[in-house]
Amino acid sequence: MNTVVCMKQVPDTETLIKVQGTGIATDGIKWVMSPYDEFAVEEALQQKEKMKAGAVTIVSLGPDRAIEAIRTGLAMGADNAVHINDSAYYNAADPFATAAVLAAAIKNLQYDCVFLGKQAIDDDSGQVPAMVGELLGIPVITQVLKLEVAADKSKATVTREVEGGQAVIEVSLPVVLSAQKGLNEPRYASLPGIMKAKKKPVDVKTAADLGVTAGPATAIKEMTLPPARQAGKIIGGDDAAAKAAALAKALQEEVKII
Amino acid sequence: MAFQMTSEQEMIRLMARDFARKELEPHAGRRDREAIFPQDSIRKMGELGLMGMMVPAEYGGSNTGAVSYCLALQEIAYACASTAVTMSVANLSTEPLLRFGNEEQKNTYLVPLAQGRMLGAFAVTEPEAGSDAGSITVRAEDRGDHYLINGTKIFITHGAYADVINLIARTDPKKGSRGLSAFIIEKSFPGFSIGSTEEKMGLRASNTVELIFEDCRVPKENLLGREGQGFAIAMNALDSGRIGISSQAVGIARACLDEAISYARQRRQFGRNIGSFQAIQWMIADMATQIEAAGWLALAAADRKDQGLPFTKEASMAKLFASEVANKAAYKALQIHGGYGYTKEYKVERLYRDARVTTIYEGTSEVQRLVIAREMLKE
């Protein structure tokens, strides 16, 4: 089974974010593969191992440094990669423009499934999976928790998360699937994997190489941090009854939630 | 002069760090308290290629070199020093086979060790032969088609869990250190058994045991190298082992520093964080500076090894310096914690105990100075 994994390099989840203009200050940031994309890579590898055939191709839009996350995917076991290194597109951080270049790159590849994380953990738009599916003209299932592909690769049974439960869906292939936490446990890149990663082919492309002219559909006007949390308030009182009364009063009159 | 990690080295460091923080650190305290050998983590580390880092791919190793090994081991030690010594000895146990093993021995033993399917140990120390390795008395007698081994080894790291043991034993009672030979022992060999387990001050999640040989029959083909080469084989392995222990010491020292910093930031006395007092700041500055130097010494020795240059002196310097830095860092980190640091509630208590052995095993600080001076004064 041939699969494509769309992967984004993002700031490490422990990064202290500082706003700069309409973006964030990037100096000193440690960059990692977006955690939901790790589930996507892992699933693609597991499906390949189950079918004992096929290739896993990573497609990533990002600047030069994105190669580190691409190499991590290759070290985990992916076979090759397409690195779309085009500043007009990665700087735009626009879901449609991103989906347009990813889809254009995927069209040149052979695939039964396209995996993505359900969202990148930096911009959190969550729109790219659906847009990629639309541009490729194939079905999309988001928030995937479990995947079983039929041996003849004609269809798949997919469990996805829905509000308060799970839905089981049968879908024809090819299909776009976005990974939710719980789909699998991503592996660590093994040392032999890391040593082999450098020798695996990475195709570097620009949007023009892929014939994409679609520009961004959105623009970021302003970036702000959430307001600082206000200090808590300690409810006083002589005894438990008095404290409870004071708490009820505060909830009614100050917070206005009861 | 290049102080830049290659992209592979950086990836290896990050992978080891990720693994150590997720898989080892959360349980390190409990394993220390209950003296539980981390068998499951050791198996996972084997699968990731962390137990055969100096072994070429053709023998199942990950062939990352000593610098990568140093970086990975530091990250493992930062999270759990007990797991780090296990990793160090496992890697060390591949070296004699790699350097002195014949093709058949490499295929039978080196490949599964490097792939992490088997765990290797290294047995030199005896009750009366510690720093003075030349006075080993465990006897290996040539009985024609086999060797018969008798005697006791002590302080053998993960001896009870090892599948394969590199044993240094005496084949010639008259020749001192030239009368020693190396053997490959399988745990299933008749006459081989595990004796008592040491109750240690630190590294309590690592296993340290006595090995007993009672008329243990070892096939002739399990002689490693030639008769009389045992001492050279042991010293060669120890050079590499010292790079491992220096890295372990740096990892422990870094953990001490981070614990000290985080405590100094939140502990308030006299109405302010203790980190704002110069007395504490100086301790932290000294720790950070010494750790930085120790880290580079370890990497410099490893880099020489990777380049195929002699590294005996550099490995001893790194081991001497890093192990003493780890002890100083542990002392200062505990001092910064005050009374709390003396309780088992704080991690620094474990780090203090774990750091202690680093100036002792794989050659005491005194033996390291001996090695360094000998190298400096030789003509």
Together in a domain, A86 and A30: yes
Judged against a pLDDT cut of 90, whether residue A132 lies above it is answered with yes
Name the residue with tokens 């084949």. Answer: B171
From first CA to last CA, the distance across chain B in angstroms is 27
**What CATH number matches the domain at B7-114, 2.40.100.10, 2.60.40.10, 1.10.540.10, 3.40.50.300?**
1.10.540.10
Closest CB from B11, B19, B63 relative to A72: B11
Together in a domain, A36 and A104: yes
Decide if A194 and B47 are in contact by the 8 Å CB cutoff: no
B58–chain A Cβ distance below 8 A for any pair: no
A65–chain B Cβ distance below 8 A for any pair: no
Taking contacts as CB-CB distances below 8 angstroms, the residues of chain B near A188 are: 15, 18-19, 48
Question: How is B9-40 classified by DSSP, letter by letter?
Answer: HHHHHHHHHHHIIIIIHHHHHHHHHHT---HH
pLDDT for residue A27: 86
pLDDT for residue B334: 98
pLDDT for residue B2: 80
pLDDT for residue A5: 98
Together in a domain, A129 and A234: no
CATH number of B232-377: 1.20.140.10
Decide if B11 and A198 are in contact by the 8 Å CB cutoff: no
Q: How many CB atoms lie under 10 A from the CB of residue A187?
A: 17
A180–chain B Cβ distance below 8 A for any pair: no
Average pLDDT over residues B154-168: 98
- Residue B183: which of B106, B60, B96 has the closest Cα? B96
Contact A245, A257 (CB under 8 A): no
Q: How confident is the model at residue B78 (pLDDT cuts 50, 70, 90)?
A: very high
- Residue A199: which of B175, B57, B374, B306 has the closest Cα? B57
Q: Distances from the Cα of B281 to the Cαs of A107, B257, B270, B322, B327, in angstroms? A: 59, 12, 16, 21, 18
State the smallest CA–CA distance between residue B68 and chain A in angstroms: 10
State the smallest CA–CA distance between residue A200 and chain B in angstroms: 13
Q: Read off the pLDDT of residues B2-15 as tens digits, 9 standing for 90 and up.
A: 889 999 999 999 99
Closest CB from B11, B47, B68 relative to A71: B11
Together in a domain, A10 and A75: yes
Question: What stretches of chain B show up as alpha helix (H) in DSSP?
Answer: 7-19, 25-34, 39-47, 66-79, 81-92, 95-100, 103-105, 111-114, 230-266, 278-306, 312-337, 347-356, 365-377
Q: How confident is the model at residue A92 (pLDDT cuts 50, 70, 90)?
A: confident
Q: How confident is the model at residue A190 (pLDDT cuts 50, 70, 90)?
A: very high
Together in a domain, A124 and A197: yes
A74–chain B Cβ distance below 8 A for any pair: no
Q: How confident is the model at residue B340 (pLDDT cuts 50, 70, 90)?
A: very high
Lowest mean pLDDT among A210-219, B168-177, B224-233, B256-265: A210-219
Strand partners of residue B364: none
Q: Read off the pLDDT of residues A141-172 as tens digits, 9 standing for 90 and up.
A: 999 999 999 999 999 999 999 999 999 999 99
Question: How is B195-244 classified by DSSP, letter by letter?
Answer: EEEP--SS-TTS-EEEEEEEEEEEEGGGEESSTT-HHHHHHHHHHHHHHH
Judged against a pLDDT cut of 80, whether residue B1 lies above it is answered with no
Decide if A188 and B48 are in contact by the 8 Å CB cutoff: yes
Q: How many CB atoms lie under 10 A from the CB of residue A251?
A: 13
Catalytic residues of B: 362
How many independent structural domains does chain A possess? Answer: 2
Q: Quick one: tokens of A176?
A: 């776009």
Together in a domain, A136 and A247: no
Q: Select the residue from B15, B54, B71, B115 to test the A interface by mutation, using most A Cβ atoms within 10 A.
A: B15
Asked, for residue A215, whether it belongs to a domain, the answer is: no
Q: Select the residue from A12, A71, A188, A196 to test the B interface by mutation, using most B Cβ atoms within 10 A.
A: A188
Domain residue limits, chain B: 7-114, 120-226, 232-377
Asked, for residue A151, whether it belongs to a domain, the answer is: yes
Together in a domain, A200 and A242: no
Judged against a pLDDT cut of 90, whether residue B84 lies above it is answered with yes
Taking contacts as CB-CB distances below 8 angstroms, the residues of chain A near B55 are: none
Q: What is the Cα–Cα distance from B29 to B273, expressed in whole angstroms?
A: 27
Asked, for residue A45, whether it belongs to a domain, the answer is: yes
In one-letter notation, the amino acid at residue B326 is A
More confident residue, B75 or A92: B75
Judged against a pLDDT cut of 80, whether residue A88 lies above it is answered with yes
Q: Greatest CA span in chain B, whole angstroms?
A: 79
Name the residue with tokens 């089974």. Answer: A1
Domain B120-226: homologous superfamily in CATH: Butyryl-CoA Dehydrogenase, subunit A, domain 2 (2.40.110.10)
Q: Distances from the Cα of B230 to the Cαs of A119, A193, B109, B255, B268, in angstroms? A: 59, 35, 18, 37, 57
Q: Distances from the Cα of B22 to the Cαs of B25, B28, B85, in angstroms? A: 6, 11, 19
Asked, for residue A168, whether it belongs to a domain, the answer is: yes
Q: Read off the pLDDT of residues B49-62 as tens digits, 9 standing for 90 and up.
A: 999 999 999 999 99
Together in a domain, A183 and A249: no
**For chain A, what percent of residues have pLDDT higher than 90?**
78
Together in a domain, A60 and A141: yes
pLDDT for residue B286: 98
State the smallest CA–CA distance between residue A193 and chain B in angstroms: 9
pLDDT for residue A10: 96
Question: What number is the ipTM of this complex?
Answer: 0.89
Number of separate helices (H) and strands (E) present in chain A: 7, 13
Together in a domain, A137 and A195: yes
Judged against a pLDDT cut of 80, whether residue B93 lies above it is answered with yes
Q: How confident is the model at residue A225 (pLDDT cuts 50, 70, 90)?
A: confident
Asked, for residue A213, whether it belongs to a domain, the answer is: no
Q: Read off the pLDDT of residues A58-74 as tens digits, 9 standing for 90 and up.
A: 999 999 999 999 999 99
A13–chain B Cβ distance below 8 A for any pair: no
Asked, for residue A223, whether it belongs to a domain, the answer is: no
Phi/psi at B147 (5° precision)? -105, 145
Q: How confident is the model at residue A26 (pLDDT cuts 50, 70, 90)?
A: confident
Q: Read off the pLDDT of residues B198-249 as tens digits, 9 standing for 90 and up.
A: 999 999 999 999 999 999 999 999 999 999 999 999 999 999 999 999 999 9
**For chain B, what percent of residues have pLDDT higher than 90?**
98
Taking contacts as CB-CB distances below 8 angstroms, the residues of chain A near B19 are: 188
Asked, for residue A120, whether it belongs to a domain, the answer is: yes
Question: How is A133-201 classified by DSSP, letter by letter?
Answer: HHHHTS-EEEEEEEEEE-TTSSEEEEEEEETTEEEEEEEESSEEEEE-TTS--PPPPPHHHHHHHTTS-
Q: Give the structural domain span for A94.
A: 3-205
Name the residue with tokens 């690769």. Answer: A153
Q: What is the Cα–Cα distance from B7 to B309, expressed in whole angstroms?
A: 23
State the smallest CA–CA distance between residue A169 and chain B in angstroms: 34
Decide if A190 and B18 are in contact by the 8 Å CB cutoff: no
Taking contacts as CB-CB distances below 8 angstroms, the residues of chain A near B48 are: 188, 190-191
Q: Read off the pLDDT of residues B288-304 as tens digits, 9 standing for 90 and up.
A: 999 999 999 999 999 99
Rounded to the nearest integer, the mean pLDDT of chain A is: 94
Judged against a pLDDT cut of 80, whether residue B152 lies above it is answered with yes
Decide if A75 and B64 are in contact by the 8 Å CB cutoff: no
Sequence-ordered list of residues with C-beta below 8 angstroms from that of B217, at least 6 positions apart, any chain: B146, B147, B148, B149, B189, B190, B191
Asked, for residue A50, whether it belongs to a domain, the answer is: yes
Contact B46, B115 (CB under 8 A): yes
pLDDT for residue B266: 96
Together in a domain, A138 and A243: no
Q: How confident is the model at residue A230 (pLDDT cuts 50, 70, 90)?
A: confident
Judged against a pLDDT cut of 80, whether residue A4 lies above it is answered with yes
